[in-house]
Amino acid sequence: TRVPPDGGKQTLSVQYTLPAGSLQGVRVNFRWRGSVSTCSTGSYDDHDDLIFAVGQAGTSPPTTSVAPSSQPSARPSMVPTTYPSVMPSSRPSSTPSMAPTLPPAPSHSPSSVPTSLPSSSQFPSPVSQVPQWTELSYASFENGWDSWVRGGSDAGRYCRGTYAASGDCAIRLRDNSKDQSAMSLNLGDLGDLLLFNVLRVTFSFYVSSMEDQEDFMLEYSSNYGSDWDIVRTWKRNAYASVDTIDIDNNRFYMDEQVTLTGPFSSTAWIRFRCDASHNKDRIFIDDVRVEGF
């Protein structure tokens, strides 16, 4: 630690001998009464300048001087004055205005001193990579069913805008006619599902005229739709349940997300199915996205 004896321009210097063949890092903190401050941000027009100079063992270190600028708001420029006699006297033709340029290392430098820094690949990355989801399917239903399959007469494409989460079209599910009230997607058609451990389904929906305890659900099948397992249920006035979400009429629910854990195979399907009691009990499904991770 070095402390200037008084105000005004002060020059503090520290010498440190590097062990032969080692790689060294240097860190400098400028402090005001124990607190770390950013260079040249003090309240008294202070200017903090730092110069690193490297010389050969057994010789005097380079010396530098700080020349104040004529403009108080500008940082002072640093000008090298003398160099040890063992170093060459020639200098590069151009010198950066904010830092001194050191001469090239002498030709008789010890061979044990490293001549290059290690590559960045030798050090671990300070920031880990963020996991990436791969989009497998997206359906807006503006131009059709977008790979989804209509179950029957109680599943239809609606294109009058009011109940679509975006654009004009959505898929309307109604009543409780089992397969007839469903829309299905063949996951095996989306790619090699063995590449993914998790699938994520994101969608938006609108609820219309669902009565107490009426619901709809997302289901999963591992055998081409021969058998279905309920993954998540959305129910009007639902009782507390891990896999059941309470919903109300006459409102949109945006960007609902459900995750499914693999392994998956080419025989996997998912579907949305309405389980209400009347043709006027309706769910409008829109903007369905399937992603894999």
pLDDT tens for 98-114 read: 444 555 555 544 455 55
Task: With H, G, I as helix, E, B as strand and everything else as coil, classify residue 173.
Answer: strand
Give burial (CB, 10 Å; 0-12/13-18/19+) of 23. Answer: exposed
Q: According to the model, what pLDDT value does residue 247 have?
A: 96
273: β partners = 182, 217
218: β partners = 232, 272
Q: Report which DSSP code applies to 99.
A: S
Q: According to the model, what pLDDT value does residue 54 have?
A: 62
* CA-wise closest residue to 58 among 96, 106, 91: 106
Q: Which of 3-16 are b and which e, b meaning 16 or more Cβ less than 10 Å from the residue's Cβ?
A: eeeeeeeeeeeeee
Q: How many residues does the chain have?
A: 293
CA distance 201 to 13: 63
Q: Report which DSSP code applies to 279.
A: T
CA distance 113 to 23: 9
Contact criterion met (CB below 8 Å) for 275 and 253:
no
Q: According to the model, what pLDDT value does residue 90 have?
A: 45
Q: What share of the chain is helix, strand, coil (3-state, %, to 5)?
A: 5, 35, 60
Omega before 110 within 30 of 0, i.e. cis: no
Per-residue pLDDT tens, the chain, 293 aa: give them: 666 666 666 666 777 676 665 556 666 656 555 544 544 444 444 555 666 566 665 666 555 444 444 444 444 444 444 444 444 444 445 444 444 455 555 554 445 555 555 555 555 554 455 569 999 999 999 999 999 999 999 999 999 999 999 999 999 999 999 999 999 999 999 999 999 999 999 999 999 999 999 999 999 999 999 999 999 999 998 876 778 999 999 999 999 999 999 999 999 999 999 999 999 999 999 999 999 99
Domains identified in the chain and CATH numbers: 11-101 (no CATH), 134-292 (2.60.120.260)
